[in-house]
Amino acid sequence: MNAEDFKARHRRDEKAFTRERSLTFGLVLVLVMRNSVKSLQNVVNEAMTWLGRPTVSASALSQARYKLKHTAFIELNQVAIVETLYGNEDYLRFWGFRVLAIDGSKLVLPDNEAIREEFGTIAWSNGKDAEIQGERPYALASVLYDVLNRVALDATLGKAKAYEVDLAVGHLPHTRVGDLLTMDRNYPSYRMLAELSRCERDFVIRCSAASFAEAREMLKGQGPDSQEVTLKPCAGQLALIREIGLPLSLKVRLVRVLLNTGEYEVLVTSLLDNTRYPTDGFRELYYLRWGIETFYGLLKTRLELENFTGIGAEAIRQDFHATVYLSGLESLLTDTAQAMLDAKVTQYPQSVNRAVSFNAIKNRALDLLLVSGFETEQLLAQLTSLFLTNPCLERSQRKPARKNSSARVLLNFHKRQKKHCF
C-alpha cells in the first residue's frame, strides 16, 4: 500500500504524503477501510498505540484522508480481489457461467450543502399520499456482483436520481463472454437487452407487470411456460436506439416460473436452447440473484456503510469503495474456513459468521495490510481459527414471512439491541 507508484496514482497532488509523517499513505488507507463506528480520536489512538508511535489528533486524520483518492480502493479491489479470484479459473459457476447480478440501492447521505450539490436530493413524506415534508440527499449505488463467489467486480456511486439502466450499462466493460447477468424488474427495458446483446452477454432478467406484451400474457397464466419471441423497441425509444447503434430487433426467450406463493414470475433470457437450459432450472438460477440483495444488506447493516466517517463527497466515495473492497477481502480470506465447515457432518450446513469474520479482519488489518515482514502464514492461520468460531446454521427450507417493521420498532432495535461489528 505504500508503494510509490501506487501512491502517485491515488493522491490528490504530487506534494501529498511526500514528507515523513505519522499518518502515512498506507496507514490512512487502512484506517478508512476499517470504518469503525467509534469516535475518530479513539480510532487514531488505537492505531498509533499499536504502532508504538505518539498519537495525533482526529483532525489530522480528517485532513489526511482528503489527500488521497477513493480510486485507491477501486484498484485494490480489482487487483487484490478480482484478479486473484479469477486468476486460476477455480471458482463457482452455474450451467458453466459466471453468474453476475446487477442491482442498485439508495444510500442516505450526510445532509449538507456540498453533498446536496454533488449527489442531489429526493423528497420525502410521512406516508404514500401525504404531503412532501422535505428533501434529503441520497446517492444511488450500483454494483456488479458475483453471487456464487461473493465478490463485487465493479461498483459505482451515482446521483440520487440516476437511471439504474445507465449505471448498469457502465458495468458491462467489467464483464466478458461466458458471463450470465441477472437483474430484477427495474432493468428489462429494450435498451438494456439490446446493450447486452451487442456485447454478446447472456442474461436472465425478471419482467415486470408493465413489461413486454408477451410477458404480460404469460404473467396471467396464458400460453406455454417457455417461448421464443422477437422484441422491437417502442416508438418512444426508437430514435434513441438508432442513435446509439443498437439492434432494432432481438430474439429472446420468455420463461414462466411458478413461485411458492402461487404467483407467476416471467424471465426474459438470451438462453434459447431448451435442452441445455431447461425451463425447470430457471427458478433455481434466478433465485441466485438474491445474493446481491443480501450483499447490500451486509453493507448497510453489518458494515454500517451509511454511518459515514466523513461528511464530504470524497469521504463518502472513500467509505463506499473501501467497504466494497473489504467485503471482497473477507470473501477470499474466509474461503478456507468455509471449506472446513462444509466438510463437517452436521444436521444443518454451517457458514462463517460474518460478524466474527469482519471483526477479526478489521482488528488485524494493520498486521495484514500494512506491516512488511509479518508472518503471513501464521496470521492467516490465526484468522482462520477465529472464522471458525460461532458459525451460523443454514436452514434452507425455512422461509419466514417478510414483514414491514414500524419506525418505532426499527429505532428501538438500532438504539438498544443492535450489536456493532467493530
| Residues in a beta bridge with 420 | none
Provide φ and ψ at 309, rounded to 5°: -90, 5
State how beta strands 151-159 and 179-183 pair.
Answer: unpaired
Taking Cα atoms as reference points, which of 165, 176, 155 lies closest to residue 244? 165
Counts of helices then strands in the chain (DSSP H, E): 19, 11
pLDDT in the model for residue 17: 87
Distance CA 38, CA 277 (A): 50
pLDDT in the model for residue 153: 98
Helices (H), 298-375: 313-333, 335-343, 354-363, 365-369
Whole-Å CA distances, 34 to 73, 185, 300, 327, 365? 12, 34, 15, 11, 7
Taking Cα atoms as reference points, which of 269, 287, 344, 283 lies closest to residue 148? 287
Distance CA 27, CA 72 (A): 13
DSSP at 311 = S
DSSP letter string over 177-212?
TTEEEEE-TT---HHHHHHHHHTT-EEEEEPPTTS-
Whole-Å CA distances, 240 to 60, 233, 250? 50, 10, 16
Distance CA 367, CA 173 (A): 34
State how beta strands 98-108 and 121-125 pair.
Answer: unpaired
Residues 6+ apart with CB under 8 A from 132: 123, 124, 125
Distance CA 38, CA 34 (A): 11
pLDDT in the model for residue 126: 74
Distance CA 130, CA 349 (A): 46
C-alpha cell at 391: 458459525
C-alpha 29, offset from chain centre: 20
**In tens digits, what is the pLDDT along the chain, a chain of 422 residues?**
768 899 899 999 888 888 878 899 999 999 999 988 889 999 999 999 988 899 999 999 999 999 999 999 999 999 999 999 999 889 999 999 999 999 999 999 999 999 999 999 999 877 767 788 889 999 999 999 999 999 999 999 999 999 999 999 999 999 999 999 999 999 999 999 999 999 999 999 999 998 899 999 999 989 999 999 999 998 888 999 999 999 999 999 999 999 888 889 999 999 999 999 999 999 999 999 999 999 999 999 999 999 999 999 999 999 999 999 999 999 999 999 999 999 999 999 999 999 999 999 999 998 888 876 667 889 999 999 999 999 999 887 777 777 788 878 877 887 787 778 77
Taking Cα atoms as reference points, which of 274, 285, 273, 272 lies closest to residue 93? 285
pLDDT in the model for residue 374: 63
Taking Cα atoms as reference points, which of 111, 142, 166, 66 lies closest to residue 324? 142
